[in-house]
Amino acid sequence: MKKTFAKWALTTVALSLTFPATAFASDINSRALELAGQDKFSDALAVLSQANSATQASYEHRFLRARILSWAGKYDRAERELNSLMMEFPSNADLQLAAGNLAYYQGDLNKAERYYQMVLVQAPDYVDASRGLENVRNARQGRLSEGRHLWRIDGGLGFSGFDDNTISDWDEQYLRAEYAPDTLAYHGGLQRYNRFDETDVQITAGISDAVRGGWDWGVELGVTPDAVFRPDFSAGGRIGRAFEAASGTVFYPNVSYRYDNYATGDIQTVQPGLTTYLENGVILTGRLIGTFQEIEDDQVGWLVQGRAPVSDKIQINAGYAQAPEAINGIAIDTKSLFGGVTYSIREDLDVHLNLARDDREDSYVRSSVNVGFTYKR
């Protein structure tokens, strides 16, 4: 009798300790889901962090955290959480579906398709996976997911005047189109320059990574037929890697390289830099600029720039550079102060106004204005 009572007493104590903890975990998850449904993702993640260590180690808690990170656009962190779970539960269809959705959000349609098909092999009637495959097919036909665009077209024109009246004014026009059917983006451009009472037309084409987050790269080639002051041939590329801090700030260290072949000689430009994306929409960029050329000494300069939203429709940018600038085949140290504003007319159409003042060492002071547009569909 005493043993029976003791066993009952221990069981009662254990249940009294277990049930409140389970209820507490359930309340936390429910509250986090409620906040996420209101797009308050930071608040939802903060609520999840309040759970005790045992709850935070549970499958349900980790899976919910991964889903909320994915909804919040924190793709790197969501992917790390999902990968950790899939190592423990490699045949879990729910995790595979979430991984497919995450790949789809990032525009990696091939990867998304593979995960959706893995789900359907295990569960042929899994409606969400079938719907995911349909979304992939639609995206490939041009009806891309929200926030992604199949086409982007940029165009504009610029004018420059000089403090030295002996130098004639400059003008230029440009048009650039980019097509991003999947994880790669292909672009081509045409730019007409009128300088020194001569005209050059440069043609460019390139390919780049179309998905933001993680590794980012791009290459571009350019030619100027019968060039007078532009390079006869140019080639360049960039590579970078985005890292997200626990605070949500994204750091993007990168480096770009460009080779220009002028009639007067070759110029090579290397630019290591760091761009920081803050959660309030502010973007800060710092960059070193080094040039290596045949007919002038090698030079090193720098640039700083910032961009910030001031309303839902307006963004402003400003910056300063003291760096070598290549014009007519010669790179010379130039001090530049520049800034501008972007206005969103519609969700698919922006217009830009940019101003700049360049003080080219022992040469001239140039003031310029550029107006342009960006159209996305």
Say if 223 falls within a structural domain: yes
Confidence band of 262 (pLDDT split at 50, 70, 90): very high
pLDDT reading at 80 higher than 50: yes
pLDDT reading at 316 higher than 90: yes
Residue bearing the bigger pLDDT, 28 or 310: 310
Q: Quote the distance between the C-alpha of residue 356 and its chain's center.
A: 25
In this structure, the answer to whether residues 252 and 326 fall within a common structural domain is yes
Confidence band of 162 (pLDDT split at 50, 70, 90): very high
- For 190, the domain range is 151-376
Burial of residue 177 (number of CB atoms within 10 Å: 0-12, 13-18, 19+): middle
Instruction: Give the least confident one: 136-150, 334-348, 356-370.
Output: 136-150
Say if 265 falls within a structural domain: yes
In this structure, the answer to whether residues 183 and 66 fall within a common structural domain is no
Say if 145 falls within a structural domain: no
Domain count, the chain: 2
Burial of residue 97 (number of CB atoms within 10 Å: 0-12, 13-18, 19+): buried
Are 163 and 365 within 8 A, CB to CB?
Answer: yes
Q: Which of 91, 115, 140 is the last residue of a domain?
A: 140
The CATH number covering residue 358 comes to: 2.40.160.40
DSSP state of 168: P
- Position 148 scores a pLDDT of 58
- Position 263 scores a pLDDT of 87
In this structure, the answer to whether residues 230 and 341 fall within a common structural domain is yes
Place of tokens 């910056």: 319
In this structure, the answer to whether residues 349 and 202 fall within a common structural domain is yes
Q: Tell me the CA distances in angstroms from 320 to 111, 288, 300, 338, 371, one per residue in order.
A: 41, 12, 15, 6, 20
- Position 212 scores a pLDDT of 57
pTM for the predicted model, two decimal places: 0.64
Instruction: Give the least confident one: 144-148, 247-251, 365-369.
Output: 144-148
In this structure, the answer to whether residues 72 and 188 fall within a common structural domain is no
Cα dihedral 288→290→366→200 (10° resolution): -120
Say if 146 falls within a structural domain: no
In this structure, the answer to whether residues 11 and 96 fall within a common structural domain is yes
pLDDT reading at 187 higher than 70: yes
pLDDT in tens, 18-53: 334 444 567 777 887 788 788 888 888 888 888 788
Residue bearing the bigger pLDDT, 243 or 228: 228
Confidence band of 14 (pLDDT split at 50, 70, 90): very low
d(CA 169, CA 81): 57
- Position 268 scores a pLDDT of 95
pLDDT reading at 143 higher than 50: no
The CATH number covering residue 63 comes to: 1.25.40.10
Q: Which of 105, 140, 175 is the last residue of a domain?
A: 140
Burial of residue 362 (number of CB atoms within 10 Å: 0-12, 13-18, 19+): exposed
